Amino acid sequence: MFKNIILTGFMGVGKTSVGTKLAQDLGYTFVDTDTLIEADQKMTITDIFAKLGEPRFRDIESTVIGKILQGERQIISTGGGAVIRDANRDAFRKAGFVVCLSARAEVIFERVKQETHRPLLQTPDPLAKINELLENRARFYSQADLSIDTSGKTVDEVVHIIKERIRHAYC
Smallest separation, CB 79 to ligand S3P (Å): 3
Smallest separation, CB 126 to ligand S3P (Å): 12
Residues in contact with ligand S3P, total (CB under 6 A)?
Answer: 10
Smallest separation, CB 115 to ligand S3P (Å): 9
User: By C-beta, is 120 or 146 nearer to ligand S3P?
Assistant: 120
Q: At what angle do helices 15-26 and 155-170 cross, to 10 degrees?
A: 50
Residue 117 near residue 46 (C-beta atoms within 8 A) = yes
What is the number of residues in the chain?
Answer: 171
Q: Which range binds ligand S3P by CB under 6 A, 17-25, 91-99, 113-121, 154-162?
A: 113-121
Q: Is 79 near ligand S3P (CB under 6 A)?
A: yes
Q: Is 111 near ligand S3P (CB under 6 A)?
A: no
Interactions with ligand S3P, residue window 33-52 (CB under 6 A): 34, 45
Residue 46 near residue 14 (C-beta atoms within 8 A) = no
User: By C-beta, is 13 or 26 nearer to ligand S3P?
Assistant: 13
Residue 167 near residue 44 (C-beta atoms within 8 A) = no
User: By C-beta, is 119 or 151 nearer to ligand S3P?
Assistant: 119
Smallest separation, CB 168 to ligand S3P (Å): 27
- Interface residues toward ligand S3P, by CB under 6 A: 11, 15, 34, 45, 79-81, 118-120
